Chain A
Amino acid sequence: MSSDSSHNVSYLDYKGRWKGKITSWIFSTDHKKIGVLYLFSMLILFSIGVLFGFLMRLELIAPGKTIMEPQMYNSIFTLHGIIMIFMFIIPGLPAIFGNFFLPLLIGAKDVAFPRLNLLSWWLFMFGSLLAILSVFLPGGPVDTGWTFYVPYSVRSTTNVFPALIAAFILGFSSILTGLNFITTIHRMRVQGMTWFRMPLFVWSLYATSWIQILATPIIGITLLLVVMERAFNIGIFDPSLGGDPVLFQHLFWIYSHPAVYVMIIPAMGIISEIIPVFARRTIFGYKFIAFSSIAIALMGSLVWAHHMFTVGMSPTAMIIFSVLTFLVAIPSAIKVFNWVATLYKGSIQLDPPMLYALGFIFLFSIGGFTGLIQGALSVNIHIHDTSFIVAHFHYVMFGGTGFGIFAALHYWFPKMFAKSYNMKTAKFSFWTLFFGFNVLYFPMFVMGWLGMPRRYYDYLPEYHIYHFISTIGSWIVVIALVAMFANFIVALRKKEKFTEENPWGGETLEWKTSTPPPLENFDIEPVVDSHPYEYKMNEPDQDLLKEEGTK
């Protein structure tokens, strides 16, 4: 074989020194293969999370006991939260699409530390399996809620211990990914790829990685302290020994509020990639979008106590945290306005990735506005711990990040696997999901406003109708997800290869290499000499328009 064609070997076919089909994947340090590993492991975990959510909704379809005991219900909502948050929404976009596309987008051959990258995946799998295993260990599945609030998480006799260790390990994995990405972005950009020529998804990964590095250690130590508390009675969070449970809440939210932005910022990055491609226009306000990611990352780390307005803090602190919460909405709004401005007068093509991107903007806006409602001190007292909150964060997390992940999947799937999926099925599953999503979560706003507490196993008859509608919505969502995944599975099993380099007409670097990408990403190292979203060619010619006007 000549040395020329050796470069052209697809990353999917390259086995390295591993002979087996499986070993060539799980021991590969290729960032693309690691991204795919994350994709499949996370979609399995996501499906388990959906199953738990589905069962939870089924239990709530009517007052009283329907299919499970209260203890089981407590465990199920806890596991739903732990899986969805720690194993899907937080690590999802960086681990799957960040891994696969960050080096491609900046013209690099791989990330800065490929072996560390593989270690992150192994840690992720180890943590996830530990959490799943804890369900089956004697003692019963953990029932504290994903927030592990003390003192209950110290007293509960269920398997809190393995769940805490699992969350700690997952955090470690996410720190290593963040560290890897920051170093990659600093050191591995190809010639000509200046900071302001980086695609916006890269900017969003950069901001996200910093949050991961700055905030995750805090939750790490907090969870370790709960472990210590359970094992040795050190007293730090145990009120009977003089400890302060509110301190736990502070430490917990110092991480977990910024984690919200770890979830949403990369999704915003994806949307910023997709919108210009399918509107055939240069992104409006590139620098504003880039810097608003950084602004969100900075300001978002100063608002954590808005989760604690009812624990009895000083009024001064509450006012400060409330004001800061309002302020952090500004950079998010800047992004939304810029996307809308990009769409304005664009020639919009409603392919599946674009549909998900528009779905994101719509649902995220609802989630964002209801977030402002909660940020107001007096209203917060009324709706604290009600299903209004549940509706809000599902609009942001599922309607925002979840739709962002699906948008990315539809956008990059052909590039990743060299297979094309069925457009009609994809559009069908989008509209079904969009409809089902609103049927599922919107009633929660209403009943939460009317006083339905979250996490309750039973409820008064006047809430029945809302719970009933919401459960119907959960069925529609499941149908849509099954249709979407079936579409991808059918596509993957197709014999025929899809080798078009640039099916959507994107201008970023991942579209300038073959499909699927070769082992080292580019046959000829690209040189960058312009901004990432130059669509001037496709914009109507101004002179021509003037001429037509004079006619």
Chain B
Amino acid sequence: MSQVNEQTIGHVHRDDEATRIGMWLFLFTELLLFGGLFIAYAVYRYLHPHEFMMAGKELNSFLGALNTVILLTSSLTMALSIAAIQRNKKNLSIFLQVLTLILALGFLINKSFEWSIKFSHGIYPGSETLLAKGSGEILFYGLYYTMTGLHAIHVVIGMIIIGVMTLFTIKGTINSGNNVRLESAGLYWHLVDLIWIFLFPLFYLIL
């Protein structure tokens, strides 16, 4: 019977193209998940244009811009790490992946700064200060916390995935001949970046 096992285990089906299709489909569902939130944003912005503008001015656009730069840079390091492994430069790839993780962490720290400043001013969902304001501002901050919060969760998931990929690269299971998993992780990370590119102007810039 052992022979049967060996035979079936020996038959490992690997299809990089299928992995890519699957990953793109998954990214599509992620975009649609945020799509529902963008619809809600559009509806309420249309209903309360003035109050959305007032609330948006109170966000710190410097911190927002800084985070945009951090995340864009991390996308670059991620893309370079894939290019590195494809050219068989293992150590460079590991270095770039770790750099991506550090930048992602920086993004989260910056974000938590921003949130805690708002919290200290008493502006968070359900707070007395916020409930005293108009419904447009309540909705703006409701959307702000939900959307940036959900995005932050995606950053954390992305970090976990990249962390695992780094371990695989160190172990050598991801290498110049077999790196579609790292490529998929990279795609996921670019999506996280892309969503932020939309969130940033919607909350900080369109005033």
Contact = CB atoms under 8 A, between A and B. Distances in A.
Interface string B172-194: 00000000000000000000000
Interface residues of chain B: helix, strand, loop or mixed (majority): helix
Interface in A11-37: 14, 16-17
Interface stretch (B33-41, B163-171, B195-203): B33-41
A187 B17 contact: yes
B135 A241 contact: yes
A248 to B, nearest CB: 10
A240 B7 CA distance: 65
A251 interface: yes
A217 interface: yes
B122 to A, nearest CB: 14
A465 interface: no
Contact of B15 (A112, A220, A232, A236): A112
A273 B143 CA distance: 48
A222 interface: yes
By CB atoms of chain B within 10 A, which of A116, A182, A234 has the most?
A: A234
B142 A236 contact: yes
Contacts of A3: 3, 7
Contacts of A213: 25, 28-29
Interface residues of chain A: helix, strand, loop or mixed (majority): helix
Interface string B1-17: 10111011001010101
What bracket does the count of chain B residues touching chain A fall in? 35 or more
Contacts of B21: 182-183, 186-187
A113 B184 CA distance: 14
Given A3-B3, A235-B135, A241-B135, A187 B18 contact: yes
A179 B3 contact: no
A225 B143 CA distance: 10
A244 interface: yes
A109 B18 CA distance: 15
A110 B25 CA distance: 19
Nearest to B21: A183
A217 B34 CA distance: 8
Given A112-B15, A220-B36, 4 more contacts: A179-B26, A225-B146, A236-B142, A242-B136
| Shortest 5 CB-CB contacts between residues of A and residues of B | A242-B135, A234-B142, A221-B36, A233-B126, A217-B32
Interface of A: 1, 3, 6, 9, 14, 16-17, 109-110, 112-113, 116, 175, 178-180, 182-183, 186-188, 213-214, 216-218, 220-222, 224-225, 228, 232-236, 241-244, 247, 251, 519-520
